[in-house]
């Protein structure tokens, strides 16, 4: 009989697993807490269960974290974890240490079908959705490696993949992360970023436990957004912002709008003014992200002067704006650079990137890399 990994199972599923072994259901609570709170990875660590039960459990179930194949450490302390989730299928997660908290950026899919022009993950073929255990497994593995307490943790679902295209598994993972009996990460410290899957946003709005919402907007006209993010042809800017306006926000919560700044594409003062207009009336903050360049991306980052000018226009309209400082760029860990690569910016062991299709009339600028 195949051994089943219990990482990713919720309490009820563990109760069923225990019952199958003809053991009382209450045992499941101890197992649940061992997996998600105490970060146990071996049945030997469950001394309170007794030797006999541990033997029975071992025969049927495992509690394996994802095993990191490589950990790349940046000069700024950021760590990029490479996990092989199936033979030749790799995902990445990033640990970003900060003074008062640690941020874990996690993946939800192997590849991404949304295929945004500026994103390295989007250049990969979409291979599969991650299972709930593979999603929380990234956090458990990084937590075990770094010894980070859940109180210091910030989770950003901004790694490889489009989380709302893997809705059920991502939601099960979020419920596990935020369960007080287990990982106990406050939902206020979990942020899900989406490229704008409108039915997913509407579904999320109905969830009893919902993460913070971040929207990758990245353009102020449908023409440019169609080009940068093909998903815009399905749900355009107006439809997306309409769904955002309807999204229920708890007190003092805001939607984050992410805006990757790309030279001569979406970074003009006019864009900044248009952005302020589009977001009028929304409870929001804006994160400006200077494009992280990569040889796989045919675009160039806006210069700092343009970024600051863009910011100033938004600030002048009383919008909270942060400029996201690139972290871990030297180990290809920054936003949009995740591709399951074995070496920073190396592309071995991966299929060749999809060919680029640029709309006529728009020049793709080939970056020289960094």
Contact residues for ligand SF4, defined by CB under 6 A: 112, 114-116, 119, 121-122, 161-162, 195, 216
Q: How many residues does the chain have?
A: 370
> Which stretch in 4-12, 81-89, 136-144, 188-196 sits in contact with ligand SAH by CB under 6 A?
188-196
In terms of CB distance, is 185 or 229 closer to ligand SAH? Answer: 229
Centre a 10 Å sphere on the Cβ of residue 87 and count the other Cβ atoms it contains.
5
Q: Which is nearer to ligand SF4, 23 or 162 (CB)?
A: 162
Residue from the set 106, 291, 321, 331 that interacts with ligand SAH by CB under 6 A: 291
Secondary element (H or E) of residue 296: none
Does 92 participate in catalysis according to the annotation? yes
Whole-number Å distance between alpha carbons of 154 and 329? 20
CA–CA separation, 109 vs 338, rounded Å? Answer: 12
Residues 287, 288, 291, CA angle at the centre, nearest 5°? 130
Non-local (6+) Cβ contacts of 124 within 8 A are 110, 111, 112, 160, 339, 340, 350, 351, 353, 354
Q: Which of residues 204-243 bind ligand SAH (CB under 6 A)?
A: 216, 218
> By CB under 6 A, is residue 53 in contact with ligand SAH?
no
Smallest distance from ligand SF4 to CB 45, Å: 36
Measured from the CB atom, the residue of 78 and 195 that comes closer to ligand SF4 is: 195
What span, in angstroms and rounded, lies between the C-alpha atoms of 198 and 208? 18
Q: Which one of 102, 134, 258, 271 is in contact with ligand SAH (CB under 6 A)?
A: 258
CB of residue 284 to ligand SAH, shortest distance in Å: 14
Closest distance of CB 323 from ligand SF4, Å:
18
Give CA 141 to chain center in angstroms: 16
Using CB under 6 A, which residues numbered 162 to 181 contact ligand SAH? 162
Query: In angstroms, rounded to a whole number, what is the distance separating the alpha carbons of residues 315 and 318?
Result: 5
DSSP bridge pairs for 290: 261
Smallest distance, Å, CB 366 to ligand SF4? 19
Residue 20 annotated among the catalytic residues of the structure: no
Nearest-5° Cα angle at 141, 28 to 191: 90
Kindly state the DSSP code that residue 152 receives in the 8-state scheme: G
Q: Is 158 in the site for ligand SAH (CB under 6 A)?
A: yes
Radius of gyration in angstroms for the set of CA atoms belonging to the chain, rounded to a whole number: 21
- In the complex with ligand SF4, which residue's Cβ is closer, 166 or 195? 195
User: Residue 34's binding partner, choosing from ligand SF4, ligand SAH, none, with beta-carbon cut-off 5 to 8 A by kind?
Assistant: none
Q: Which does 115 bind (CB under 5 to 8 A by kind): ligand SAH, ligand SF4, none?
A: ligand SF4
Query: How far is residue 193's CA from residue 258's CA, in Å, rounded to a whole number?
Result: 9
**141 or 229: CB nearest ligand SF4:** 229
Between the CA of residue 19 and those of 25, 34, 131, 238, 267, what are the distances in Å? 6, 18, 23, 51, 59
The per-residue b/e assignment along 131-144, b for 16 or more CB within 10 angstroms, e otherwise, is bbbbbbbbbbbbbe
Binding test (CB under 6 A) with ligand SAH, winner from 178, 292, 302, 332 = 292
Q: Which stretch binds ligand SAH (CB under 6 A): 7-15, 140-148, 232-240, 284-292?
A: 284-292
Out of 143, 194, 212, 311, point to the residue binding ligand SAH (CB under 6 A): 194
Q: What are phi and psi of 63, to 5 degrees?
A: -135, 60
Residue 335 binds which entry of ligand SAH, ligand SF4, none, with Cβ cut-offs from 5 to 8 Å by kind?
ligand SAH
- Give me the torsion for CA of 322, 325, 327, 332, rounded to 10°: 100
The residue at minimum Cβ distance from ligand SAH is 336
The distance of closest approach from Cβ of residue 162 to ligand SF4 in the complex, given in angstroms and rounded to an integer, is 4
Q: Which of 15, 92, 134, 258 is catalytic?
A: 92
Report CA torsion sign: 347, 82, 229, 280: negative
What residues act catalytically?
92, 335
Give residues in contact with ligand SAH (CB under 6 A): 118-119, 158, 162, 193-195, 216, 218, 258, 260, 289, 291-292, 297, 335-336
């Amino acid at each position: 009989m195949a051994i089943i990994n219990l990482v990713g199972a919720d309490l009820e599923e563990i109760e069923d697993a225990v019952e199958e072994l003809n053991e009382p259901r209450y045992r499941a609570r101890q197992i649940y807490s061992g997996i998600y709170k105490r970060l146990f990875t071996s049945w030997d660590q469950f001394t309170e269960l007794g030797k006999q039960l541990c033997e029975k459990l071992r025969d049927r179930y495992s509690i394996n974290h994802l095993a990191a194949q490589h950990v790349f450490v940046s000069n700024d302390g950021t760590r990029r974890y490479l996990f092989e989730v199936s033979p030749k299928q790799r995902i990445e997660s990033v640990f970003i240490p900060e003074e008062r908290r640690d941020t874990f950026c996690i993946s939800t899919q192997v590849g991404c079908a949304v295929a945004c022009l500026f994103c390295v993950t989007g250049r990969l073929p979409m291979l599969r959705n991650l299972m709930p255990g593979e999603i929380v497994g990234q956090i458990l593995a990084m937590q075990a490696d770094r010894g980070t307490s859940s109180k210091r943790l910030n989770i950003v679902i901004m790694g490889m993949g489009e989380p709302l295209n893997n809705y059920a598994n991502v939601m099960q993972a979020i419920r596990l992360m935020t369960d007080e009996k287990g990982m106990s990460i406050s939902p206020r410290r979990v942020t899900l970023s989406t490229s704008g899957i409108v039915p997913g946003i509407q579904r999320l709005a109905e969830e009893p436990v919902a993460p913070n919402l971040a929207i990758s907007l990245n353009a102020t006209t449908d023409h440019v957004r169609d080009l940068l993010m093909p998903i815009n042809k399905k749900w355009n800017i107006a439809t997306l912002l309409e769904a955002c306006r309807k999204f229920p926000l708890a007190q003092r919560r805001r939607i984050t709008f992410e805006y990757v700044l790309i030279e001569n594409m979406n970074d003009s003062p006019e864009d900044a003014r248009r952005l302020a207009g589009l977001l009028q009336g929304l409870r929001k903050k804006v994160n400006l992200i200077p494009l992280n360049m990569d040889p796989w991306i045919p675009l160039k980052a806006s210069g700092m002067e343009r970024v600051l000018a863009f910011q100033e226009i938004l600030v002048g309209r009383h919008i909270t704006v942060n400029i996201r400082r690139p972290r871990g760029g030297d180990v290809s860990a920054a936003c949009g650079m995740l591709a399951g690569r074995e070496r920073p910016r190396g592309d071995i062991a991966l299929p060749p990137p999809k060919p680029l299709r640029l709309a006529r009339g728009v020049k793709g600028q080939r970056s020289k890399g960094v």
